[in-house]
Amino acid sequence: MFFTLIRLRYINLILLLSVITPNCLGQVNQLARFELAISENDENENFNVTSLDQEGILIYHNLFADAQNLLELIRVDTSLTEIWRGYIAIQRNLRVSHVKLNDQLVFVLLKSSTPITGNFQVVVAKVKDGTYGIYDIKNMIPFDPTDFLVTSQGVMIGGYFNYRPLVLFYNFTTQTSKILPGFFNEQGEINQLKLNENGSVDIIVSANNSQRKKCLWIRNYDDEGGLIKTTVLEPEVTKNLIFGRSAKMPNDAQVVAGVYGNRNVKYSRGIFVAEINQLGEYKINYYNFGDLQNFFSYMKAKKVNRVKDRIERKKVKGKKIKFNYRLLVHEIVPYKDKYIMLGEAFYPKYRYADGMSYGAGMGVRGEQIFDGYQYTHAVVIGFDTQGDLKWDNSFEINDVKTFELQQFVRIAPGEDHIVLLYFYDNLIRSKIIKGNQVLEGKTADPVKSKFKTDIVKEKDTRNSKLNYWYRNHFFASGIQTVTDSQTGNDGGYRKVFFINKLKYQ
């Protein structure tokens, strides 16, 4: 049953038209801006956004009141003009976990903040007018959701119980739930839940086989959670498949790309690409980090030369090339007749109790306090449908440190080039590549604010994110403290949640 969304008064919208500048090789055009004012005393900064593709953007926000808790939803169109907004009363112990768009409907997964219950709620709102319905999902197994996916028949919720991966399927028609077959038996890690164009779902899990080798289990389900087939990718004798993501080929075959390691599965030694045919037969290609042409290009020139000299000496002596990295693989996207894999390298940082910090490799005695994840660079790999590597490139992102692992770099493929972008500390960094070549080095453009007199320092921007939107558009969002230069630093400032519309050309 659907209910009418409560409509609230109109909020000020700020449209910011970009200044037309002469064409250059690459340019970030900032086409519009949307702001929501945040009270100076309001510490609740949990504003989040999700793309509605060409229907705009959904803003969702938890409000905690004495009488009840509310979920605020606001839809803006592609010009960042508000279309509708309103509140939905939710249980006090529920928080937003994931949001997905499917067939003109927005699905908001609400999870319990208390670990003693495994129940969920799903709010389903119409993109057109905001009318909504709520489904209660009863679940006897308490777990935190890490993945969320919507099929034509229901939703799939992935997570862990006692270190064992599981995926819960809830059917909207029967309003019943079940654990998908093939889960809840062994320890492992969910790598991906992916909805295919034919309506089926691929779920990739990395786990040990009977020989204690880390393999990838690729299970294919129908839209009601029925298991169709299982394919197990097994590595060479001396290798482990740590993490992988998949994409479908035009001939209905499948490509899986990710990272492999040797004995220590916390660190990867290189990239693997597997091609799986419709019979489940596969071939895996391995590419050591040392064999990639531009993997170390994020370093300073002198250090890059030292590393490459070291690699050549080892090759001449017939020794193995060993580089250990922590690498998150985020995307595999089709590009012309090839595929692009995007990943990001990082390492955990720690600090002393007295405030000094050090990297993961320095090993210091005494109390260690986790101080966030330091990103080093993004890795971009181009390969064909047979899994053969065609080119590689990188993008330095060593100015990013975060306490929660997430994707920063996004890709914008063009006809004869690829743009790499990320947003951090109020600056949009970009780089343009073409295969192994760098057409334009790293540049930085500040996010434009409302008025010419506005001043936003880098550290005055928090929760900054850059996301795909529609076609070749992106949107940047976050929380800012903006100062009016005419009033001075001691006054005339405002705290806002913002969205900026971007187009790279």
State how far the alpha carbon of 434 is from the alpha carbons of 25, 336, 390, 420, 431, in Å.
Answer: 13, 13, 12, 11, 10
Residue 17's pLDDT band (boundaries 50, 70, 90)?
very low
Neighbouring C-beta atoms of residue 241, cutoff 10 Å:
26
Beta strands in 176-309 (DSSP E): 176-179, 189-195, 201-208, 214-221, 227-233, 240-248, 254-261, 270-276, 282-288
**Per-residue pLDDT at 167:** 96
Residue 19's pLDDT band (boundaries 50, 70, 90)?
very low
Residue 463, domain member (yes or no): no
Residue 379, domain member (yes or no): yes
CA distance 441 to 423: 16
* Residue 199: DSSP 8-state: S
Mean pLDDT of 266-285: 93
For the chain, the domain total comes to 1
Mean pLDDT of 480-505: 82
Please say whether the beta carbons of 290 and 321 come within 8 A: yes
Coil, strand or helix: which one is 317? helix
Residue 498's pLDDT band (boundaries 50, 70, 90)?
very high
Q: What are phi and psi of 390, to 5 degrees?
A: -110, -35
Q: Comparing 52 with 138, which gets the higher pLDDT?
A: 52
Determine the longest span between alpha carbons in the chain, in angstroms: 73
Residue 396, domain member (yes or no): yes
Residue 328, domain member (yes or no): yes
- Tens-digit pLDDT profile for residues 250-263: 778 899 999 999 88
303 pLDDT more than 80 = yes
Q: Comparing 221 with 92, which gets the higher pLDDT?
A: 221
Averaged pLDDT score across all residues of the chain: 87
Q: Structure pTM? A: 0.87
Please say whether the beta carbons of 323 and 382 come within 8 A: no
433 closest CA partner among 310, 294, 307, 322: 294
- Tens-digit pLDDT profile for residues 208-240: 998 889 999 999 999 999 999 999 999 998 899
139 closest CA partner among 157, 117, 123: 117
Sheet holding 120-126, edge to edge: 94-102, 105-112, 120-126, 132-137
Structural tokens at position 59:
């803003």
Residue 100, domain member (yes or no): no
- Please report how many Cα atoms fall inside a 13 Å half-sphere around the Cα of residue 418, on the Cβ side: 28
Judged on CB neighbours under 10 Å (0-12, 13-18, 19+), 147 is middle
Q: What is the DSSP string of 331-399?
A: EEEEETTEEEEEEEEEEEEEE-TTS-EE-TTS--SS--EEEEEEEEEEEEEEE-TT--EEEEEEEE-TT
Residue 264, domain member (yes or no): yes
**Per-residue pLDDT at 136:** 94
Residue 491, domain member (yes or no): no
412 closest CA partner among 331, 468, 344: 468
Residue 222, domain member (yes or no): no
82 pLDDT more than 60 = yes
**Segments forming the whole domain that contains residue 441:** 235-446
Helix (H) or strand (E) holding 495: strand 493-504
